[in-house]
Structure 1
């Protein structure tokens, strides 16, 4: 049988719930206007973005990788949290036993006021910088744009009808000397790098253990899966773990295929998280206006 789709039924479940686990992906930030990771046409200056998101790429050409991430930082800092981010943040404030796991690195959930104690950044953050030589230094939530003067070409704005020179593969890459890139102030030898998890790197083991411990602490009432296919581990395993703790799974996603695997006791809401989440949580957080403020 198909999962339930009644907003009113789900509102009642949220109202009576105690422990709630949420897993968020790129779909949560879609309404904020951020470009997808792969960008228009799937390339960034004729580079496959996934090929720039590796330690090897950084070792080979740190200037190019930093330009790519400085551009992504700029886009993230220009963007604003949407009503979905604010709705989750308000729910986290209202529910004592709430945990949100996000695969997003854009920093929009923290900027929406989501309590740090109830948010885990599975893939790190674009706004963190850490030592590439792994001396342990981390500069968290750095809002500088650009990160350093040499990366200014990545922090420019441009009219919608014109291409930023940085993004045009026909325009030479701006010359950035390695010595002008951010360096670690702690060990004095290593370069700083974006604080995101690159391909081939493990997620933070201590964080994963902490999340697993939270899951094991007791019955889970609701497992929210928002804007993600949850196809990659360990994210893919959290729905199964929550089910074993008794959770009703609720998926919010514009893709109808995201309902696959849901049970008749579960919920599926097809659409934009920024429109749906405020409705689903209204009984707990109150009515939300178009700007994400509680009325």
Structure 2
């Protein structure tokens, strides 16, 4: 399979500039307590001026990508976590590159879901909105999320950098697949593992000697300083009214650190996840006196598929999100 940058093939957005969107029909299927919870969140969302989204693997679950530590934790009987280290790359770059080539293809076969598009649209409509993603799958980029409002905390499968100490080459959004003809074998899951010599692995086009490596953060490596600083500066620039914790636990780091900082500012939290920890649930799930009341709330939880909950939750600011497949297999959004 050869993929020429799918970002450039994405169909353009068609916006209808609706200022008072018609509520989604999905609201009618909610239980009374869930509907009241959503109404309370919508009331606070409309009053929010600065929002941070922290997203994890659960955002892409509906796109067909398994979580790194979940059922996709093995690749050809190799522990994926053991392959995601600088030491593994140094010892056997052929094995590590085949693993990441297979991951790149899986991500390219996946398509952004409604939650990716809803976050991208919110970024276009709200200048003081920032998404901090822990995902490396490139789906937010392919949903046309404005790049200046999207930070990749763990890097990206589609970023490349030279491993030579004397070379500073880096490249973002390289969606070519496979990167070399020899790496095509990584997509053949039934094939026996075959060692690829270094001459058949991606090399730096700048220095022409160093091997390229995936631009992801491996275990034992520091998070990218620019990304961390940009997120810190955003939080420090003024009160963040709301943090959206999507597809990741809000009780473990780094999510917990951002949640704690925003709560200390007086901001509120909304958690969207398949499995919501008991500690993440709000004791007062909904206000008996008024479904629009949020004064006594500090957190909202939405348990279930983020691809369904996030567009519904953001609808007052984005309008309804409908995703349609284009002829080339990509998806476009209609608002």
Identify whether the pair has TM-score above 0.5, normalized to the shorter chain: yes
Structure-2 separation of matches of 1:197 and 1:89: 24
Are the equivalent residues in 2 in contact too, given 1:4–1:268 (CA < 8 A)?
A: no
Structure-2 separation of matches of 1:258 and 1:128: 37
The root-mean-square deviation of aligned C-alpha atoms, in Å, is 2.1
Residue 233 of structure 2: aligned partner: 213
Structure-2 separation of matches of 1:136 and 1:255: 41
Report the more deviating stretch, 123-132 or 229-238: 229-238
Say whether residues 1:17 and 2:53 are aligned partners. Answer: no
Residue 143 of structure 1: aligned partner: 175
Deviation of 1:36 after TM superposition, in Å, equals: 2.5
SS across alignment from 1:250: strand
Q: Which of 304, 312, 318 matches 1:279?
A: 312
Q: Counterparts of 1:28-67 in structure 2 under 5 Å?
A: 28-38=59-69, 40=71, 42-67=73-98
Residue 202 of structure 2: aligned partner: 182
* Structure 2 residues not aligned, in runs of 5+: 1-33, 285-296, 325-331
Structure-1 separation of matches of 2:43 and 2:318: 13
Are the equivalent residues in 2 in contact too, given 1:251–1:258 (CA < 8 A)?
A: no
Change (3 A) 1:110 1:100: same
* Structure 1 residues not aligned, in runs of 5+: 157-163, 167-171
Residue 100 of structure 2: aligned partner: 69
Structure-2 separation of matches of 1:65 and 1:5: 49
Deviation of 1:140 after TM superposition, in Å, equals: 1.1
Structure-2 separation of matches of 1:194 and 1:26: 18
Change (3 A) 1:188 1:231: farther
Deviation of 1:236 after TM superposition, in Å, equals: 2.9
User: 1:193-240: CA deviations, max 9, x gaps?
Assistant: 001000000011122112111101111111100000145533331111
Q: Counterparts of 1:48-197 in structure 2 under 5 Å?
A: 48-134=79-165, 135-155=167-187, 164-166=189-191, 172-197=192-217
Count of residues paired in the alignment: 282
SS across alignment from 2:116: helix
Are the equivalent residues in 2 in contact too, given 1:32–1:80 (CA < 8 A)?
A: yes
SS across alignment from 2:333: coil
Deviation of 1:259 after TM superposition, in Å, equals: 4.8
TM-score of the superposed pair, with normalisation by structure 2: 0.79
Residue 227 of structure 1: aligned partner: 247
Change (3 A) 1:207 1:256: closer
Are the equivalent residues in 2 in contact too, given 1:124–1:197 (CA < 8 A)?
A: yes
Change (3 A) 1:227 1:239: same
Residue 293 of structure 1: aligned partner: 333
SS across alignment from 1:256: coil
SS across alignment from 1:195: strand
Change (3 A) 1:141 1:38: same
